[in-house]
Amino acid sequence: MKHLILAFMFLILTSAATAQTETDWHTLVTESDSVVTAVEGAKEIDVSMAKTLLDRGVKFVDVRSTRKWKKGHIPGASSLRYPNNNEATLMEIVDKNEDVVFYCNCGEYPGCNLSPIASAKAVTWGYQNVYYLTDVDAWSAAGYPLEKAE
């Protein structure tokens, strides 16, 4: 009986901790009309800054659908789309002490917020150098290449 009570208490505490982690990222975002306008602890970047970071070897994470990633993504980018956008999966791509850029194409879909939300989650997971780009279509419009996945 004592073990059952301890196990039950463990489950309650674990659930509470998980719920807290899942909601923490909400406190980092500033929204206007359902569009994230800022993420505390992360920096929104433009295409030229994204290119500079890519040239420096920073890891890029595409949070669009797998279908869109396959059609064309920033060279070397990893695909990380829900439900796989969790801390353990991100840690397989980039260490917490490394720079990371999340990107999506919110410019095409106002209110999608994929890269800002991914950035906010990364900040809650302890990532320190987080950037996000909300308009990957501007990447190709600037003349930068995209890779296609087989």
Is 88 part of a structural domain of the chain? Answer: yes
Q: Are 123 and 25 in contact (CB under 8 A)?
A: yes
Spatial CB neighbours of 22, under 8 Å, sequence gap ≥ 6: none
What's the rounded Cα separation, in Å, for the pair 115 and 102? 5
Phi, psi (rounded to 5 degrees) for 148: -110, 145
CA neighbor of 90 nearest in space, from 117, 121, 57? 121
The residue among 138 and 4 whose pLDDT is bigger is 138
Is 82 part of a structural domain of the chain? Answer: yes
Q: Are 103 and 62 in contact (CB under 8 A)?
A: yes
How many CB atoms neighbour CB 22 within 10 A?
Answer: 11
Identify the CATH number of the domain in which residue 105 sits: 3.40.250.10
* pTM, 2 dp: 0.79
Is 24 part of a structural domain of the chain? Answer: yes
Q: Are 72 and 144 in contact (CB under 8 A)?
A: no
Is 116 part of a structural domain of the chain? Answer: yes
Helix (H, G, I), strand (E, B) or coil at 12: helix
Structure confidence by residue, pLDDT tens digits, 60-100: 999 998 888 899 999 999 999 865 678 899 999 999 999 99
Is 111 part of a structural domain of the chain? Answer: yes
Tell me what the pLDDT averaged over the chain comes to: 80
Domain with 7 in it: 2-141
Structure confidence at residue 10 (pLDDT): 39
Structure confidence by residue, pLDDT tens digits, 28-69: 766 666 666 667 889 999 999 999 999 999 999 999 988 888
